[in-house]
Amino acid sequence: MNVGFIGLGAMGAAMVRNLLAKGVTVTVWNRSRAIVDTLAAEGATVAATVDETFAADIVLSMLANDEAIREVLLDSGALARAPKGRIHVNLATISTALAAELSALHAELGLGYVAAPVFGRPPMAQAGALNVLAAGAPDTVAKAQPVLDLLAAKVWPLGEDPVRATALKLAGNFMIVSAIEAMGEAVALGEAYGVEAPDLLDMLSSTIFNAPIYKIYGGMIAERRYTPPGFAAELGLKDVRLVLDAAEAKGLSMPLADLAEASLESLLGGDDKDLDLAALAEIARARVEGR
């Protein structure tokens, strides 16, 4: 199996390592060079240009945001130059508007497109234990399925419209942010009555909130351990803004998302911006305590 991979941030690099460990030939490209050299030393093939990744049968991309996708794939002309019939799988969280645009553009160019945003942090990506949402034309998804299965604990089929997978991913990320906000406020309440954060979060995440999000983020909040980031707070802010854009497009109001946007802006307004999304809990605690 020959796979091209574009975008080697923490998640992208972890997925490439997973694929290499499973014997997949992976050709990689990234805007910054250091991680490319590291993965080359681990067995990846280096693409000198984005176009070279499209020599592979299936190309995966994990670029940071809408702007990066436009720059790397659209404005560069790389997508337009890709061989007809090539399949592109977008693993990143993007706007619903761009998801619709990419779906139409790929069809116009004679390319296959699968929207496959993922849930999971880098250790899960390297272990091939992500939850992958998959939407696109049935025959295209079927051709991408063997690669998706290598990345995933489970692949969740969501039909033919790529926008559906994108909307579900945004909804999920909104719920993650909301859970962190709730944990931060709950910790402040507990501490006001003498219940320490580790005790409160351990008990609740072991019982009525026995789920990975509460366990992973709860542990980080209890220890106030926010670096190095696994899910960067700046990406969380990007996703919350995409949620608000998607809601506005449908005439919806999302007050919790408004609160999360303001809180993340406050968090990232300081000198230290290299923080995990879990640090949002500190803003929630401060708000409750009147600080």
Q: Is the pLDDT of residue 121 over 90?
A: yes
Tally of CB atoms within 10 A around 27 = 20
Model pLDDT for residues 43-65, shown as the tens digit of each residue: 999 999 999 999 999 999 999 99
Q: What is the mean pLDDT of residues 58-75?
A: 98
The position carrying tokens 């909804």 is 171
6 shares a domain with 146? yes
Tell me, yes or no, whether 273 and 193 share the same domain: yes
Domain end, chosen from 138, 160, 182, is at: 160
Q: What is the mean pLDDT of the chain?
A: 97
pLDDT over 70 percentage in the chain? 100
Q: Does one domain contain both 42 and 130?
A: yes
270, 236: one domain: yes
Identify the three-state secondary structure at position 194.
Answer: coil
268-273 average pLDDT score: 89
Residues 49 and 143 in one domain: yes
Cα distance between residue 176 and residue 185, in whole Å:
14
Domain boundary residue among 126, 160, 194?
A: 160
Residue type, 174: F
Pair (247, 134) in one structural domain:
no
Torsion of CA 46, 50, 54, 58, to 10 degrees: 80
For this structure, is 169 an active site residue? yes
Q: What is the pLDDT of residue 271?
A: 84
**Does one domain contain both 115 and 184?**
no
Does residue 51 sit in the same domain as residue 97?
yes
> Which of 84, 143, 154, 169 is an active site residue?
169
> What is the average pLDDT across 13-32?
97
Tell me which residue range forms the domain holding 67.
Answer: 2-160
Residue 272 has pLDDT above 90, yes or no: no
Average confidence (pLDDT) over 262-267: 96
Asked whether residue 176 falls in the same domain as residue 149, the answer is: no
- Digit-coded pLDDT (tens) for 209-240: 999 999 999 999 999 999 999 999 999 999 99
Please tell me the predicted confidence (pLDDT) of residue 291.
Answer: 81
Share of the chain above pLDDT 90, in %: 98
Confidence class for position 113, pLDDT limits 50, 70, 90: very high
Q: Both 64 and 190 in a single domain?
A: no
What are the tokens at 197?
């954060």
**How many structural domains does the chain have?**
2
Under DSSP, the state recorded for 83 is P
pTM confidence score: 0.95
Do residues 128 and 25 both lie within one domain? yes
Residue 109 has pLDDT above 90, yes or no: yes
Domain final residue pick, 160, 175, 194 = 160
Burial of 101: CB neighbours in 10 Å, binned 0-12, 13-18, 19+: middle
Give the per-residue pLDDT at 270: 86
Asked whether residue 118 falls in the same domain as residue 10, the answer is yes
Q: What is the mean pLDDT of residues 249-262?
A: 97
For 80, the 3-state DSSP assignment is: helix
What is the rounded average pLDDT of the residues 130-156? Answer: 98
The token pair that represents 35 in the structure block = 């991680």
For residue 237, give the CATH number of its domain: 1.10.1040.10
| Residue from 11, 30, 43, 36 nearest 126 by CA | 11
Please report which confidence band the pLDDT of residue 73 belongs to, taking 50, 70 and 90 as the band edges: very high
Q: Residue 85 is part of a domain; what is its CATH number? A: 3.40.50.720
